[in-house]
Structure 1
């Protein structure tokens, strides 16, 4: 109970976060996100028969979801994400026939998903991600209409929405088999064990164990592909055919749900050439790998000279491979060869924000203000997850628009997290500058080379400015004046020239919205790292100041009227 609520007051309609209908004065909405609430959700919630909206997300609530919630027969929106709720989803929730939004993500919920949810014919948004749900996703009613994004981060789930077979197979083997085990029938089974990594108390990922096997076929095919071809500035390395017998080569996968055999992966790798190169940067060349069923993956090739010690690299990679989040690019596996490492990621169709924002990617689908704010919010969620929900915390070190990838719905996915630490020496921080990200680097990082969460916050602030202005951090118009994007912004805001700041491709933008984002960016890019907010605070400000008062209108579905 909030301190401002008074038990002696018979009329709760004036309480903070409570809205009522008139003239009957029945509680219609309880909206209390980010209030640092603790305790349990009382079964008395079922007495609020006229309740339409219950928003208690981003608090510290524990206990179970009371089955009495079924009595809130008018409920349309239920937001309980990012708490510590336990137990299962009460099957009675299927009696809330008016429910349109159900968000239970990022809790400690477990058990099976009740098929009664399939009865919710009005349900238009469902998020059960990042919990401990297990078993088969019921393919009934409205449940059959939701995609995998509604269920990510529940590694014991299986079923059609996530394209994971429920018969107990792990799909993509953890290690390439001996060539003799590949027959016309496919690949012989390989025994695997599973281990888990704990992320701030939550089991976020599991992976197959690694074993050494002969990989002559894989290395031979890479020899065919990597014979000094031109590409986007990257270099192909010609490998010695004798390396095919090197027992140190191996293939490791994470999450255990790639529905392909090793031979299928090998066949596809064989066909890769310079036409499949989709990018090249400081950490290596990236290829698009298309499987026979048209599913796509990104393969990042890293020269052996770019990595640190093998034992440390692989240990850190295990941690990165265990991380799952809707706004992060999932690492699906890697292949270690004597001359290179190949990291396998989910492929994100539209490519980088940098390309989309600066290189004509907006021709088909322009980035209006709402789309840019969606990208900012999703990127903040991914980065806040790395900082605050991973244990130990992961500092990205290289936040920039080319590391924000966009899917067809313009949902952002942060890529290359953790790679800077793995692939660059601790005392060689200038390598990041050489990679072309100077404009994003915090002043203290340039001075002492020590990356922290606050240096990531600075880079995110620069990214916000890039979204608002449509200009790269080192735009020639800044450099001619001896400025970067932060200095340029300070000059224009000091002279009240707001109309010159916003990208001209953004029309009908409210001044208050721009000022709010610029205020957040200014806090993020403060020269003193101690004065910068944490990413959790940045995320909260974006959600509250930019997307409030009704989060669902801007993030979940702009057409919902709750």
Structure 2
């Protein structure tokens, strides 16, 4: 019964149906009190996105306030003993010649009572039959059964069935004409992934106040990012990517989404979920919000700035970045090895505890090639782009290593742009020529010398002379 534009209240007698095991009424316009007896269904009762509902003992519902709402045994609208018109929608047509007396005094004849009784019995048996059949189908069907075995495709109706049977907010897809990443080929997602990552478009719009400009965090040539607050109070960053910036091969796009769900590390920005709307022509990636901005904001700061980083914090940030890159380069379990391709100070976010988190890891797997290429211009201008890319046009793990080396020097020196004098000072370990003056000499020369040596190895012109990130992490572990 989900997605059916139902309105009114939930009949309290529904909870007494003995064979009732599942009740899915999500995404309707129902209102009123929910009977406490429905709590016996546990996870089998799905009621999300009915904003007029209230009830006691249901974590996602507001507690009913008025006395007539908190009584689960109140007369139901249009029941045998209540012929109130309070639940008739405004658009309903009520005969104008119906008098007050006639409407308030229904016939009491035996014939009428018999007809009402027969109709009530038929309706009750029909409801019980529908719920019994629904329970049977839910027990028998598996997620895999929604695939059409003749051509390994998901039809629109089948994908809708997958969505209706999902147990929590994950990928919400609007089905009209146009872009539909899940309409072709197997989804490649397990039910567990669906249950962990799906969001409804309505939830995303509510979280961002319909993508209000006041919540805008930033824009690029292919996306916009908004701050949002989910219904559970958690703060998120919603990255909106236009359909025209995404891969046209929907199977490849879907593989990219699956990859993003597999990335889980303490030094990566956590992906909460995603939502594709072909009606809007956009894909939304919902990330955990990182409060303290990006690393770029901690470079070129004034002496008294609250963005000034202590030496121990800088060392910790370098270690965290290295761990994050090492993780994405590794091929472990269900996570394939990937190259970030766009490591720079702007892509390193800093949390409340000054821990670094890499953002946009794997994002290039969703984007069209021309968009990926355009994002490299800023990296090239800042010196993060490895020299071999200009001749090969390809990224490797050693490309990320090169960008990491540049980041290490920027963090130590405290500047975005490194002058020739600073380069020479770093190569000769003349600390007074390159160390950030904001440190005021409060740093370990031993650690600084080691970090500079690691950075210089990472930015060797030949990729074959650069260490792997695994080796870098090992060297950093022996720093102190």
**TM-score, reference length from structure 1:** 0.50
Q: Does 1:541 align with 2:410?
A: no
- Take 1:428 and 1:263, find their aligned partners in 2: how far apart are those partners? 28
Which of 246, 250, 258 in structure 2 is aligned with 1:318? 258
How far apart in 1 are the matches of 2:210 and 2:476? Answer: 44
Task: Give the secondary structure class of the aligned counterpart of 2:447.
Answer: helix
Structure 2 CA distance for partners of 1:265 and 1:424, relative to 1, 3 Å: closer
Q: Quote how far apart the aligned CAs of 1:306 are.
A: 1.6
Whole-angstrom distance in 2 between the partners of 1:349 and 1:193: 40
Q: Describe the SS at the equivalent of 1:397.
A: coil
C-alpha separation in 2, matches of 1:512 and 1:315: 45
* RMSD between superposed Cα atoms in Å: 4.0
Contiguous gaps of at least 5 residues in structure 2: 1-40, 55-59, 62-133, 145-157, 164-173, 183-188
How far apart, CA to CA, are the structure 1 residues paired with 2:282 and 2:356? 29
Per-residue deviation, residues 84-133 of structure 1 (Å, max 9, x unmatched): xxxxxxxxxxxxxxxxxxxxxxxxxxxxxxxxxxxxxxxxxxxxxxxxxx
The corresponding residue for 1:279 is 218
1:414 aligns to 2:351 (yes or no): no
Partner of 1:342: 284
Deviations 1:432-458 (A, max 9, x none): 332454310100023221000000000
- Seen in structure 2, the aligned counterparts of structure 1 residues 168 and 331 have a Cα distance that, compared at 3 Å, is farther
Are residues 436 and 493 of structure 1, via their aligned partners in 2, closer, same or farther at CA, if it must alter by over 3 Å? closer
Does residue 296 (structure 1) correspond to residue 235 (structure 2)? The answer is: yes
Matched, 1:516 2:450: yes
- Secondary structure of the corresponding residue to residue 505 of structure 1: helix
Q: Deviations over 1:124-175 (max 9, x none)?
A: xxxxxxxxxxxxxxxxxxxxxxxxxxxxxxxxxxxxxxxxxxx98699x9xx
Closer, same or farther in 2 for the Cα pair 1:354/1:193, shift >3 Å? farther
**Structure 1 residues 420 and 274 mapped into 2: Cα distance closer, same or farther (>3 Å)?**
same
Match of 1:267 among 203, 206, 211: 206
- Output the CA distance in 1 between the equivalents of 2:44 and 2:318: 35
Instruction: Give the deviation of 1:194 after TM superposition.
Output: 8.0
State the TM-score, normalizing by the size of structure 2: 0.58
On the 8 A contact 2:386/2:399 being kept in 1, the answer is: yes
How do 1:389-400 residues align onto structure 2 when only pairs under 5 Å count? 389-390=331-332, 391-400=335-344
Q: Quick one: distance in 1 between partners of 2:372 and 2:292?
A: 30
For 2:259 and 2:425, how far apart are their aligned partners in 1? 43
Contact 2:211 2:226 in 1 (8 A): yes
Contact 2:298 2:414 in 1 (8 A): no
User: Is residue 2:385 matched to residue 1:441?
Assistant: yes
Q: Residue 432 of structure 1: SS of its match in structure 2?
A: helix
Residues 503 and 316 from structure 1, CA distance in 2 versus in 1: closer, same or farther, beyond 3 angstroms? Answer: same
Check whether the contact 2:426–2:452 (CA below 8 A) recurs between aligned residues: no
Measured at CA, do residues 366 and 449 of structure 1 come closer, stay the same or move farther in structure 2, by a change above 3 Å? same
* 1:211 is the counterpart of 2:142: no
SS of alignment partner, residue 325 of structure 2: helix
Secondary structure of 2:477 counterpart: helix
Kindly provide the CA deviation profile for residues 209-230 of structure 1, in whole angstroms up to 9, marking residues without a partner as x: x934899xxxxxxxxxxxxxxx
CA–CA distance in structure 1, aligned partners of residues 236 and 44 of structure 2: 18
Q: Could you tell me whether the CA contact under 8 Å between 1:213 and 1:250 is conserved in 2?
A: no
Q: Tell whether 2:415 aligns with 1:466.
A: no
- Cα pair distance change 1:261/1:335, threshold 3 Å: closer
- Which of 223, 241, 246 is equivalent to 1:307? 246
Q: CA deviation at 1:364?
A: 3.0
Q: Alpha carbons of 1:399 and 1:488: their partners in 2 closer, same or farther (altered >3 Å)?
A: farther
SS of corresponding position for 1:440: coil
* Distance across 1 between alignment mates of 2:363 and 2:197: 22
In our comparison, the structure showing a higher alpha carbon Rg is: 2
CA contact (8 A) 1:352 1:405 kept: yes
- Which structure has the highest strand share of the two? 1
Which aligned pairs between 1:5-404 and structure 2 lie closer than 5 A? Answer: 184=53, 211-212=159-160, 245-246=176-177, 254=193, 256-257=195-196, 264-308=203-247, 309-338=249-278, 339-358=281-300, 363-364=305-306, 366-390=308-332, 391-404=335-348
Structure 2: how far apart are the matches of 1:357 and 1:340? 34
Per the alignment, residue 500 of structure 1 pairs with 433
Change (3 A) 1:302 1:193: farther
Residue 280 (structure 1) shift:
2.2
**Does the Cα contact within 8 Å between 1:335 and 1:342 map onto a contact in 2?**
yes
> In 2, Cα distance between the equivalents of 1:445 and 1:255?
37
CA 1:446–1:406: 2 relative to 1, 3 Å: same
Secondary structure at the residue paired with 2:266?
coil
Structure 1 distance, partners of 2:472, 2:265, is 18
From the superposition, tell whether residues 258 and 386 of structure 1 become closer, same or farther in structure 2 (CA, over 3 Å): closer
